[in-house]
Chain A
């Protein structure tokens, strides 16, 4: 009797494993076809909309290289974990979307393939900052697709209503205008203080911060350097005087305030312009974009918040072809036009800056050619800024600290010190040398 029951279980197990084998036969489509002669097959993982169309374009014009594109989860939502585990499992794609901020983390994890030699001839076709950030410590790991220069997006009509006819050019003017606006209408604020770590990093970068650097085998970490502390002190002052609204970044409360006309501006990256346009449609035509306020009007500088290269992942058997594809993806006119239209990228390629799609007047921004502002901004981004090797930890700690400082339960200076400590501790845990 018992034996019969056992036999039933055995049978069930056998059937289950058979089903597994069958699936193995029919579903295992990856990576077996590219050994024969024929075209080289390259796998590419990304998530931005419109990427698939550029891949199609590439495949139709490059019979020798065929790219299979897979749309995976966004990087911070599992996409990066997926790439890292695929590298570990030995079935990673050749090319993956890895943001500037995450690239050093991937490099530290040994998940990237050195493509320095293959990429070097293309360097001059990109902005210096974008190309530099596609690598770490002299090694190039990919080619950039887009960058994210920052600007000041503001309500032109309401600024004028409060007697401000020109957007603030310096942070000093920004603070003065903040006081003017808030004094005239206690419900109105010039801008807001959010909790987006990368936005804050862009502000620090503008001030000349150098958070991370590599020298030989060692990293140096200075998330709370003098330049960053200057930025922190500035915003802490505005928060203390209640001259900026404290709301979480990209929150409904933010867009509600912007739609109602109580939050009048946003210092943000180029990719924020369509988001804002979509979020507060009812105020269309009243917005404009100006260069982000600077610290020293004589030496204007700008910041970058975002941007993504196509990185070559470890285990790629066709590095040369992969680099060729990555370069084509971000420089070919048809591809770049598609990416501007579908993804809303701001091209990293110098030739991309002449793309006609960037010269169109934007009705939401009162018919302004807003990309002119960002083009000037891009040219003023410091090429020497380097992201760290444990950015998930760093940005998590910083974002947390920004939120708490905004709420008044800590100060920005303390938040920076805490971020510094957590970053260093995490790097030590991972066995990285800190010099």
Chain B
């Protein structure tokens, strides 16, 4: 983007319009941040304060440390197990999905073969179908192969990301020049070596994006694991929290469930903070060239 005035950044022509835009943005920010704020505040309350005090402000003693330690001890520490399961599904699944997407996208972008467009269009079509629609057919398939109620029942569907393939192809087509590959071939590198040592490096920003998207998708997935898993030792944290919530505070008090919900968001936040450097760099790197 170019600035028209030498002295300063682009300015909207109409100040009233600017205030309007600002107001909408502030509203949007408040709309998305208020529930988070409620969650943070509520997680600090004891169970008697939870319903009797202002939902958006702290009350009485800050009980969050006590809440967390109680939460981790409840039902033989099942919550920690759930968190671990979620991490396993999400980190492992997202990593595998990223690699597979990168390979598929790269192949679709850089090799011409018969049926390439058909494959790509099928993948594109798959993006349009909401993932929950796949849950039931997958269940029936996995039942037939006796994979139901195993780690693999949740893991295998997680390593597929049509959106990732799509993104990789677009990115690979734009960011990996054919000359680079030719140079590699002239130097005698095999196709897989070229992919691994050249293409993957160039593709890195898109890989981070795919990883993040897939991580969040797996982390927040509910229907698939709730269908596939019968044992609560295998469940991810989403399924576990909903089960607690549905018991309406009878076994695990509401304030602990809320603390659990807060803790379950932390890994996503951490992931974003860790990866945003690469991510942002990737999104803007193409624009200045």
Contacts and interface: CB of A to CB of B under 8 A. Distances in A.
A67 to B, nearest CB: 14
Contact of A91 (B113, B148, B156, B185): B148
Nearest to B96: A16
Nearest to B252: A49
Nearest to B159: A16
Interface in A246-284: 250, 252, 255-256, 258-260, 271, 274-275, 278-282
A29 to B, nearest CB: 8
Contacts of B227: 78, 81-82, 85
B72 interface: no
Contact of A260 (B52, B144, B249): B52
Interface in A197-237: none
Given A5-B192, A275-B249, A78 B223 contact: yes
Given A74-B243, A275-B248, A256 B147 contact: no
Interface residues of B, number: 49
Interface string B117-153: 0000000000000000000100110011111111110
A24 B47 contact: no
Nearest to B100: A12
B246 A278 contact: no
A367 interface: no
Given A20-B147, A89-B144, A49 B52 contact: no
Q: Interface majority SS on B: helix, strand, loop or mixed?
A: helix
A187 interface: no
Contact of B146 (A27, A50, A73): A27
Nearest to B246: A74
A19 B152 CA distance: 9
A190 to B, nearest CB: 19
B73 interface: no
A11 to B, nearest CB: 9
Interface of A is mostly: helix
B254 A279 contact: yes
B287 interface: no
A343 B250 contact: yes
B226 A78 contact: yes
B138 to A, nearest CB: 10
Nearest to A47: B243
Given A256-B51, A256-B52, A23 B151 contact: yes
B282 interface: no
Contacts of A274: 250
B107 interface: yes
Interface string B213-256: 00000000011001101111000000100110011111101100
Contact of B139 (A1, A79, A85): A85
Given A49-B251, A74-B247, A77-B242, A5 B191 contact: yes
B222 A28 contact: no
Contacts of B107: 5, 9
A148 B185 CA distance: 74
Contacts of B144: 89
Given A4-B191, A74-B242, A271 B226 contact: no
Contacts of B200: none
B267 interface: no
24 contacts: A4-B192, A8-B191, A9-B107, A20-B156, A23-B151, A24-B145, A24-B147, A45-B230, A70-B149, A70-B231, A70-B232, A72-B229, A73-B242, A76-B246, A77-B242, A77-B243, A78-B226, A81-B223, A85-B136, A91-B148, A255-B51, A256-B51, A281-B47, A281-B48
Given A77-B226, A81-B136, A343-B250, 8 more contacts: A12-B103, A47-B246, A74-B246, A91-B143, A256-B51, A256-B52, A271-B250, A280-B51
